[in-house]
Amino acid sequence: MNALALAWRNLLRNRRRSLATLSAMMLGLVTVLLFGGYIKDLNYGLETDFVQLSGHLQVQHRDYHLLGSGNPAAYGVKQHEQVIAALRADAELGPMLAAATPILQFGGLAGNSAAGVTRTVFVTGTVVEDQVRMRQWNEHGFPTLAKHNSLAGTPMNTVVVGTGVARVLQLCGPLKVPDCPAAGPDVAAGAGGAALPDDISALADTVGSGGPGSTAGRPRIEILTASARGAPNVAGVDVLAAEFQGIKEFDDVHVAMHLQQAQQLVFGNAEPQVTAIALQLHSTAQLETARARLTQLLQEKFSSQPLAVLDFATLNPFYDQALSMFAAIFGFIAVLIGSIVLFTVGNTMSTAVVERTAEIGTLRAIGLRRRGIRNIFVCEGLLLGAIGAVVGTLLAVLLATAINRSGLTWMPPGRVEPIDLAVRVAGEFSMLVFSAAWLLVVGVLSAWLPATRAARMNIVEALRHV
């Protein structure tokens, strides 16, 4: 207690130097917290995007993730409606579920017969109403949610394509796709090519019939894929819109379709299957509990099927890669700023030791032990760290609040629309505690070496110091 009192008085003896040292410590802490809050917001944003798109967990054939993307019929989930019903009815798992919906993904060939052009595509068939519900998941409280699903309320034979698909299929005019170069001579020559053969055209009209709700006047394309029995199957579909998917490689092959249409195209009259059942939880904190219960249910009730449970991080490797990159950058910044603060405080303590050499000799002469001298200087570093941690944390919270209310926006990678610039500091208690403890440790370490040097001074030489 006496050491703390003496340390406090010593800090007040040279207020200007103490304030300069405190300013350096607070600036370092504010920088670390603001950057950490920015990374937190990025992490939460990635999690929200992936959970809205694919759910927290997916039930798949155990080999589909590695082998089945090219053959959905061989690696599909059978009786998916019964599986979903059993999961929703479970007393433990059911209350955790915000949504449970089937997904069918397969590769195919899209063609615009009127223009004589084709391209390979990757088709995703979903229950649109369930996808709309999944896009409302917003556990982390982002101010803007994902946009509305364009397929909501449309006929079964309606699809949405990526802008890259629309450009290749020469649908820029009717779909109002920008940045479409004029067709070259080879493409223009093919534009008036022969139409589909009569038998293929009739098959496409049969499979792709939209029924009473079909809307005329939209551009029409054909989707060709291999059916469950190996024979080719084709469907004529109406293109509602072209939407950029954020990543060019995906945008160049993306086709979104109603699940019923996709199942009819792949399985025909055979038993319809899906490639995955997406499960979205109310909270990410429930993920491990839900995974354990889900695995148990599948083993108990659907052991005849080789099913596996995958989380959204496994399904989207970019998520873990991005988190690892952000963690490495944050660690590098923290070490760099910590080193600067360490040398700043160390220099202050070293100067104080030199100025108070005679005082140290006097204290040693009246009986204060070496440990007592060391404790005084270490307590000074501890007090500087504690004050810097409290004030720096308050300043970081205030600055983060100002940034969050500034209305600034930016376009992160993989997004199709700008989002609000946000820094999450308030409420991130683990980050706040860790950063404050980091500053305390830096304050103590920076004072330790000068304090040890002061404790080892020779009493007689210290008393002679002028």
Q: What is the DSSP letter of 212?
A: G
Confidence band for 458, pLDDT divided at 50, 70 and 90: confident
| Residue 56 · residue 317 · CB < 8 Å | no
In sequence order, which ranges of 135-184 are alpha helices (DSSP H)? 163-168, 172-175
Average pLDDT (392-414) is 88
Please name the residues in contact with 74: beta carbons below 8 A apart, sequence gap of 6 or more.
68
Residue 374 has pLDDT above 80, yes or no: yes
Please name the residues in contact with 368: beta carbons below 8 A apart, sequence gap of 6 or more.
none
Write down the pLDDT at residue 88.
Answer: 95
Amino acid in the structure at residue 191:
A
Long-range contacts of 87-96 (CB under 8 A, 24+ apart): 87/277, 87/279, 87/294, 87/297, 90/293, 90/297, 92/293, 93/290, 93/293, 93/294, 93/297, 96/281, 96/282, 96/286, 96/289, 96/290
Please name the residues in contact with 391: beta carbons below 8 A apart, sequence gap of 6 or more.
22, 26
* Pairwise CA distance, residues 47 & 40, whole Å: 11
Least confident of 29-33, 111-115, 136-140, 186-190: 186-190
Q: Answer yes or no: pTM beyond 0.75.
A: yes
Confidence band for 185, pLDDT divided at 50, 70 and 90: very low
Neighbours of 351 (CB within 10 A): 13
* Pairwise CA distance, residues 122 & 120, whole Å: 7
| Residue 378 · residue 448 · CB < 8 Å | yes
What is the average pLDDT value for the chain, to the nearest integer? 86
Average pLDDT (405-415) is 79
Write down the pLDDT at residue 192.
Answer: 45
Higher pLDDT among residues 443 and 293, named by residue: 293
Average pLDDT (41-63) is 93
Write down the pLDDT at residue 231.
Answer: 80
Write down the pLDDT at residue 169.
Answer: 94
Residue 191 has pLDDT above 50, yes or no: no
* Pairwise CA distance, residues 310 & 65, whole Å: 9
| Residue 255 · residue 171 · CB < 8 Å | no
Residue 195 has pLDDT above 80, yes or no: no
Residue 456 has pLDDT above 80, yes or no: yes
Query: What whole-number percentage of the chain has pLDDT above 70?
Result: 90
Q: Record the tokens describing residue 363, joined without a space.
A: 């204290």
| Residue 21 · residue 384 · CB < 8 Å | yes
Residue 109 has pLDDT above 90, yes or no: yes
Average pLDDT (183-190) is 44
